[in-house]
Amino acid sequence: MGKDTKVFMVDITAKPDVIRMAKAEGTITLKKKTLKAIKGKQVKKGDVLATAKLSAVNAVKKTADIVFLAHPISITSVDVTTEINEEQSTVKVTTEVHSLGKTGVELEAIAGVMAGLLNIFDMCKYLEKDENGQYDTTAISDIKVVEKTKNSLKTSHKE
């Protein structure tokens, strides 16, 4: 008989609450005609960049639902930006997540980026298919944490 594998969430009970921030980014490479459709708001499913931003915020809030051993975190703010680079034929999604808590928000920032990029792919896939129905040039890439900070709480007393 094999030994049962232990699965647990790390105990963060004794850790102090601190101000935390993480920023992540990633890109999707699309055809030039797809970028033109996005910019002109001509994609059949609607406003691609607005949908990507909303889906990113939602993913940040639901990270603990999909990353099984992640702690549910109280998110204090989420900022999502998108940037079209016509020269490279890409859209970059960046999320910046803030929290006041016991553990970092890197997973949440990455989840937001991934959801934003996935929604762009979903909304634009009909424009990206080649004559054989394949996605030869479409690629999601370079998803990474680009910055994180952790600052202790400072209290000021007026006397």
Q: Which residues are catalytic?
A: 122
Please answer whether residues 114 and 33 qualify as being in contact, where contact means their C-beta atoms are separated by less than 8 angstroms. Answer: no
Residue 40 forms beta bridges with which residues? none
Side chain identity at 114, as an amino acid letter?
M
Please answer whether residues 143 and 22 qualify as being in contact, where contact means their C-beta atoms are separated by less than 8 angstroms. Answer: no
* Three-state secondary-structure class, residue 62: coil
Please answer whether residues 60 and 97 qualify as being in contact, where contact means their C-beta atoms are separated by less than 8 angstroms. Answer: yes
State how far the Cα of 87 lies from the Cα of 97, in Å rounded to an integer. Answer: 29
